[in-house]
Amino acid sequence: MSRLSHIESKIVSLHQASQYAEMNRLKNRKVVFTNGCFDVLHLGHITYLAQAASLGDTLFVALNDDPSVRALGKGEDRPINPESARAKVLAALGFVDYVVLFSEPTPLNTILAIKPDWIVKGGDYDALVSNPSDPRYIVGSVDSAEWGGKACTIPLVEGFSTTAILSKRG
Which domains are assigned to the chain?
3-167 (3.40.50.620)
3-state helix/strand/coil string of 97-150: CEEEEECCCCCHHHHHHHCCCEEEEECCCCCCCCCCCCCCCCCCHHHHHHHCCE
How wide is the angle at C-alpha 118 spanned by C-alphas 128 and 149, nearest 5°? 75
**Residues 161, 93, 34, 45, Cα dihedral to 10°:** -10
pLDDT given at position 52: 98
pLDDT given at position 76: 80
Q: What percent of the chain has pLDDT over 90?
A: 85
**Residues 78, 81, 87, 90, Cα dihedral to 10°:** -100
Q: Which positions ≥6 away from 80 have C-beta within 8 Å?
A: 39, 40, 162, 166
At residue 149, does pLDDT exceed 70?
yes
Q: What is the DSSP letter of 74?
A: S
CB 39 within 8 A of CB 86: yes
At residue 82, does pLDDT exceed 80?
yes
Looking at per-residue pLDDT, the higher value among 57 and 1 belongs to 57
Q: How confident is the model at residue 158 (pLDDT cuts 50, 70, 90)?
A: confident
pLDDT given at position 2: 93
Distance CA 25, CA 116 (A): 9
What's the pLDDT tens digit per position in 105-127?
999 999 999 999 999 999 999 99
pLDDT given at position 160: 74
pLDDT given at position 170: 55
In the predicted model, what is the mean pLDDT of residues 148-168? 83
Q: What is the DSSP letter of 169?
A: T
Q: Which positions ≥6 away from 167 have C-beta within 8 Å?
A: none
Q: Which positions ≥6 away from 170 have C-beta within 8 Å?
A: none
